[in-house]
Amino acid sequence: MTEKIQAIRGMNDILADETGRWQSLEALIRRVLEQYGYQEIRFPILEKTELFAHSIGETTDIVSKEMYSFVDRNGDNLTLRPEGTAGCVRAGLQHSLFQTGVQKLWYNGPMFRRERPQKGRLRQFHQTGVEAFGLPGPDIDAELILLCARLWRELGLDDITLQINSLGSAAARLAYRNVLVEYFTGHKDQLDEDSRARLERNPLRILDSKDPDLQNLIANAPAMSGYLDPESADHFAGLQELLTGAGVTFTVNPRLVRGLDYYCKTVFEWVTSRLGAQGTVCAGGRYDGMVEHFGGKTTPAVGFALGMERLLELADLKEPLDSRPDLYFIHAGAGSEARAMQLAEQVRDAHPSLKVILHCGGGGMKSQFKKADRSGASLALILAEDELARNTVAIKHLRRDLPQREVAWPALPGALSELLMNV
C-alpha cells in the first residue's frame, strides 16, 4: 500500500482506553431515563433524504449544507441521519405507536453532519435523544428539563445553565417572522453574508448567529414574547411555574431559536461556558406539528438531544469497572494447553463475573509470568508438567505475600470462590 488509510476528518475512533468512560456515561443516562419510565427505541442510521428535508426543514443549516447524502444504486436518495427526531417519528408512524397513547422514548447513537471539525464539533458525533409523544401540556416539558437537571447533578456538573424560550404557534411565528424581516431589512448593511441569506430563507435563524459584530443588532431586535399567541403564552407561563416550583433555575432568553422548522412553543438549551464556542450541551423543544405533517393524527411532541462528546468533555467520569483481569492462566509442557483451556472454561462457567485470561501465544514459564504480572491480575493459575501429572493446578498470589496452593482440577472453581472473596 502506498499511503496509510486514515479515518475521515471529524470522525473519531474511540479506543479501548476511552470506551470505559463512554460506558459509564451511557449506563448513568440509561438508569436515569429508566427512573422516569422512558423506553429505548432503535432505528436505522440511514433513511430516505426526504425524511430529513421535510422534518428538519430545507432552509436549515443541517439540510442545506451539512447532510451526508448519496444516491443509492437503484436511484433512491439516502442520507446518514444528522439527528434522531425524524427517524423516531418515522418509526413511530410506521408502527402506529402514536395511536396507542403516550410514548416516552429514548435512543443513543451516532449522528452525521458535514461541519467544520473542531473541538466539540465533529462529523460523526453521538447523541442521546429523548422524545415524549401524546402530551400537550407544560408538565412534560418540565419533566424533560428535570430529567436533564438530574443528569447534570449525578455527573457532578453544576455549571450548566438552562435557557428557555417560547416560539409560539405556527401562526404567531409567522407574524413574528414578518416583524423580524422588517427589522433586519432596515439594518441590512450591518448583516453578514450568512445572515443576509437567512433574511429571505429563515430569518429566525439570524437570532442564532454567532457573529460577534451582530450581537448588538440581535439584542435590539424585537422579541418573540411580544407576539406569542395566548395559548402559547399560557403554556410558557405554566412551564416557568413548574420549573420554579421544582427549584430549577433558568433564564428566559428571547433570542433562543432552534434549528428545526417544526419547533413550536417551548424551546430550551443547557449551556456551559467551559466549552468555548461549542457551549450547548443539550437542546430541545416542542414539535407538535411534525407527526401530522408526516400524515399521522395530530400528536403533540417534545424532546431533546444531548451531545455525548461535549458531556464527556465536561464530566469527570471514572472507568466503570476495573479493567484488570482476576486470573492469568499460565501453562507449559505437552498437553497442558488443551487442559488449561478446558479448566479456564470451567472457571468461566462457575464464575461469570471473573476476568480470566488464558495465556495465548506460547513461550516459556518465565515470559508468561512476566505477562501475568504486567496484566495486573491478582492470581496466576499454573499448569506445568508437574501439575499436569498430578491432575492439579497451582494458584499463586501475584499481589500479596501468601503461600502458593495446589488444588485438584474439580476443586478449582470452589477454591477460587474462597480465595477471591478475600482478595
Among 26, 47, 115, 406, which residue sits at the site for ligand ATP (rule: CB under 6 A)? 115
12 binds ligand ATP (CB under 6 A): no
Q: Shortest Cβ distance from residue 7 to ligand ATP (Å)?
A: 15
Q: Min. distance of Cβ 234 from ligand ATP in angstroms?
A: 26
Q: Which stretch binds ligand ATP (CB under 6 A): 112-120, 154-162, 244-252, 348-356?
A: 112-120
Is 113 near ligand ATP (CB under 6 A)?
A: yes
57 binds ligand ATP (CB under 6 A): no
As measured in angstroms, the least distance from the Cβ of 13 to ligand ATP is 16
Q: Report how far apart, in Å, the C-alpha atoms of 390 and of each of 28, 265, 385, 412 are.
A: 49, 77, 9, 14
Using the minimum distance from each CB to ligand ATP, give the nearer residue, 225 or 278: 278
| Site membership for ligand ATP, residue 261 (CB under 6 A) | no
Taking the complex as a whole, the smallest distance from the CB of residue 102 to ligand ATP amounts, in Å, to 24
According to the binding rule CB under 6 A, does residue 121 interact with ligand ATP? yes
Q: Which of 144, 180, 128 is closest to 268 using CA atoms? A: 144
Q: In this structure, what C-alpha cell is assigned to residue 386?
A: 508437574
CB 46 within 8 A of CB 78: yes
Least separation in angstroms between CB 51 and ligand ATP: 16
Residues 6 or more apart from 331 whose CB is under 8 A from it?
337, 339, 340, 358, 359, 368, 382, 383, 384
Question: Hey, which residues does 250 pair with through a beta bridge?
Answer: 162
81-100 residues in contact with ligand ATP (CB under 6 A) are: 83
Measured between alpha carbons, how far is 53 from 50 in angstroms, rounded to an integer?
5
Q: Which stretch binds ligand ATP (CB under 6 A): 87-95, 113-121, 171-179, 344-352?
A: 113-121
State the amino acid at position 414 in one-letter form. G
Binding-site residue total for ligand ATP (CB under 6 A)? 18
Please return the burial class of 355, using the count of CB atoms within 10 Å of its CB with bins 0-12, 13-18 and 19+.
middle
Judged by beta carbon, residue 212 or residue 245, the one nearer ligand ATP is 212
Near ligand ATP in 307-326, by CB under 6 A: 307, 309-310
Task: List beta partners, residue 164.
Answer: 252, 268
Annotate 58-73 with b (16+ C-beta within 10 A) or e (fewer). Answer: ebbbbbeeebbeeeee
281 counts as binding ligand ATP under rule CB under 6 A: yes
Taking the C-alpha atoms of residue 52 and residue 30, their distance in angstroms, rounded to an integer, is: 26
Q: Kindly list the residues in this chain that would bind ligand ATP in the complex (CB under 6 A).
A: 83, 113, 115, 120-122, 125, 127, 259, 278, 280-283, 305, 307, 309-310
